[in-house]
């Protein structure tokens, strides 16, 4: 089934694939790299497309360092991030100062 607007989604995936293992990115930075400011649209695109493990959606977190949401459950996300070498606080928060990756403008 063809998607209506693959441009937005495919762009999102392309950027997301650029993120190196052991690092995370935020919806805002992701949207910014896409050339848009709709951080919500980014999350929406990922939620609608539970591609797995084609797209490392688990590497996308909120700017607050929280895991945000996850179509497969936050529990799964935490495990995956930990498996990549990312440490998560007992509160389920990630240290963006350490693991946040920024895309080249």
Partner DNA sequence: CGGTTGACCAAGT
Partner DNA sequence: GACTTGGCCAACC
Binding-site member from 14, 21, 48, 79 for DNA (CB under 7 A) = 48
Residue 98 pairs with which residues in a beta bridge?
none
Beta-carbon contacts of residue 2 (< 8 Å; ≥ 6 apart): none
Chain positions 49 to 88 lying near DNA, rule: CB under 7 A, are 49-50, 57, 60, 62-64, 68-71
Binding-site member from 44, 78, 80, 100 for DNA (CB under 7 A) = 44
Number of Cβ within a 10 Å radius of residue 8: 16
Chain positions 8 to 37 lying near DNA, rule: CB under 7 A, are 8-9, 26-28, 36-37
3-state helix, strand, coil in the chain (%, to 5): 45, 10, 45
- Shortest CB 31 distance to DNA, Å: 7
Residue carrying structure tokens 């797209």:
55
Applying CB under 7 A, which residues contact DNA? Answer: 3-5, 8-9, 26-28, 36-41, 43-50, 57, 60, 62-64, 68-71
């Amino acid at each position: 089934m063809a998607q209506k607007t693959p441009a937005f989604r495919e762009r999102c995936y392309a950027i997301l694939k650029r993120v190196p293992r052991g690092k995370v990115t935020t919806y805002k930075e992701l949207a910014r790299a896409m050339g848009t400011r709709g951080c919500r649209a980014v999350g929406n695109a990922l939620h609608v497309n539970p591609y797995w493990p084609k797209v490392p959606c688990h590497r996308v977190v909120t700017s607050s360092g929280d895991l945000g949401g996850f179509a497969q459950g936050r529990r799964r996300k935490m495990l995956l991030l930990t498996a990549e070498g990312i440490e998560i606080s007992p509160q389920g928060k990630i240290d963006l100062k350490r693991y946040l990756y920024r895309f080249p403008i």
